[in-house]
Amino acid sequence: MNTTAERLAAWAEGEEARFLGRLEDEEPCNGWIAEYWRIVGDAAGRPHYRHVDGRTVDEAGDRWAWSAAFIGAGAWVATGGAPWFAYCEWHSSYTRDAIRRASAGGAQPYRALPAAGAVLRRGDIIVQWRAGIGDGGRDIPVTWESAPRIDPFTSHGDIVVAAGPGAAEIIGGNLGDTVLRRHLVLDEHGRMADTTQLRGHWFALLRFANDAAD
């Protein structure tokens, strides 16, 4: 199956395989992260991203979070460099765009669904709110309803690489400073059985049009 969703999932599996648990500041991983930033920077018209890699630190001395760059690079590869994806350093940018597209209706290249009640599929992007900026103040959870009004909000996205009754496997970047596979508990229908997590909750699922059920 040569769909955007399948290409995205296969790309994530390939990145997991080449990182092999090695960390962001190690070579060649540092260079691969620089490539994510180059792709996202060029696609988003943000040339300063070209100077970011796995060792770059901010004014506080913390390394730049690259998990959204991981998603953006994967989307760029999977779509053949499509200009319509909201490439950015924030997961909230593509999440808000996908929610707006869902509200607009009609033909859309990708759109968002509420995580609660959605049946996960390979190639979906599942988005988790993370404790931080939210709904006008810190540590106030972002929800499906409030997300379109907040820019930015702290969040994390993972690529679904396997899903079925009982469980899903997801791959994300900048988890433990590497590319990491995690597991989600699903119900017997393939829906999320529990959207809560220690650091935040899952609230949105992004799906590309060629895998969307009409």
Q: What is the pTM of this model?
A: 0.94
Q: What values do phi and psi take at 145, rounded to 5?
A: -75, -35
Dihedral sign for Cα 160, 94, 64, 61, please. negative
Predicted local distance difference test score (pLDDT) of residue 199: 65
Phi, psi of 29, deg, nearest 5: -60, -40
Q: Tell me how far apart the 2 most distant CA atoms of the chain are, in Å.
A: 47
For residue 88, is pLDDT > 50?
yes
**Using CA atoms, how far apart are residues 129 and 142, in angstroms rounded to an integer?**
6
Judged against a pLDDT cut of 80, whether residue 34 lies above it is answered with: yes
Percent of the chain with pLDDT over 70: 93
What pLDDT digit, counting tens, does each position of 176-214 carry? 999 999 999 999 999 987 777 656 789 999 999 975 443
User: Domains in the chain, start-ordered, CATH in brackets?
Assistant: 4-211 (3.90.1720)
Give the pLDDT confidence score for residue 163 in this predicted structure: 96
Sequence-ordered alpha helix ranges (H) in the chain:
4-19, 29-44, 67-79, 91-104
Measured CA to CA, the distance from residue 98 to residue 144 in angstroms comes to 11
pLDDT tens across 104-137, in order? 999 999 999 999 889 999 999 999 998 765 555 5
pLDDT category, 152, cuts 50, 70, 90?
confident
Q: What is the rounded average pLDDT of the residues 71-91?
A: 97
Which range has the worst mean pLDDT, 57-61, 85-89, 207-211? 207-211
pLDDT at 134: 57
Span 4-29, average pLDDT: 97
Report pLDDT for 141. Answer: 82
